[in-house]
Amino acid sequence: DQQVKQNSPSLSVQEGRISILNCDYTNSMFDYFLWYKKYPAEGPTFLISISSIKDKNEDGRFTVFLNKSAKHLSLHIVPSQPGDSAVYFCAASLNRDDKIIFGKGTRLHILP
Amino acid sequence: ETGVTQSPTHLIKTRGQQVTLRCSSQSGHNTVSWYQQALGQGPQFIFQYYREEENGRGNFPPRFSGLQFPNYSSELNVNALELDDSALYLCASSLEGNSGSNTEAFFGQGTRLTVV
């Protein structure tokens, strides 16, 4: 039973435009949410996180939005760059010290 | 680069054999977690070690076991290998405690295990 769902296996976006990656979760006890980026032959790299007391967190080109009532979060990348092409994992945990539950990932292709 | 290193990078084993995977955590980190990533899936939590003791376990059978050493490096052992154990095994280290200086989990590059 997937507690963290990424329903789009892949997404293609033109360079310079906005990339929006979506994620839904089922466990209302999740308190901490993260996005990781993964290139082939590398481990996941932490991108950005948000705690449940916030609805937005921004770091440079990356912004994460959290809608607790809808149990939905999204990652916005603007402007998208070729180096952003990777697999993006949405993840959640009960708190910062707890195990991380990952979604299946969304492969983002940035088109020239 | 995160400073978390895993060895070996690739490994081929026969069904029924045993395997040990190793992880050196990032300097200053006291917690190590292990994840299994099957093809087309996200990483799945196996277990976590904090100060040399198991501190949480996912839905994996007892033939998956681990150790954490005083220098916070760690091993993952899998006995009686099955074909379905073929996956990328990821180690992640973090700093956890009551000081409020908890860090995010930083992952190594993984060990690709193939069971034939």
Q: How confident is the model at residue B102 (pLDDT cuts 50, 70, 90)?
A: low
pLDDT, tens digit (0-9, with 9 covering 90-100), for B55-100: 889 999 999 999 999 988 999 999 999 999 999 999 999 887 655 5
Whether residue B66 lies within 8 A of chain A, CB to CB, comes out as: no
Q: Which residues of A touch B35 (CB under 8 A)?
A: 102
Which tokens belong to A79? 């402007």
Question: Which residue among A36, A96, A103 sits closest to B102, beta carbon to beta carbon?
Answer: A96
pLDDT, tens digit (0-9, with 9 covering 90-100), for A91-101: 999 987 788 99
For position B94, what pLDDT does the model report? 87
Angle at B115 between CA A9 and CA B40, to 5 degrees: 0
- pLDDT of residue B12 exceeding 80: yes
Are A100 and B42 inside 8 Å of each other by CB? no
Question: Which residue among B40, B45, B108 sits closest to A43, beta carbon to beta carbon?
Answer: B108
pLDDT, tens digit (0-9, with 9 covering 90-100), for A41-51: 889 999 999 99
Which amino acid, A97?
D
For position B27, what pLDDT does the model report? 83
**How far is residue B8's CA from residue B19's CA, in Å, rounded to a whole number?**
11
Q: How many residues does chain B have?
A: 116
Whether residue A41 lies within 8 A of chain B, CB to CB, comes out as: yes
Which tokens belong to B78? 């899998």
From the CA of B81, how many Å to the nearest CA of chain A? Answer: 23
- pLDDT, mean of residues A56-72: 97
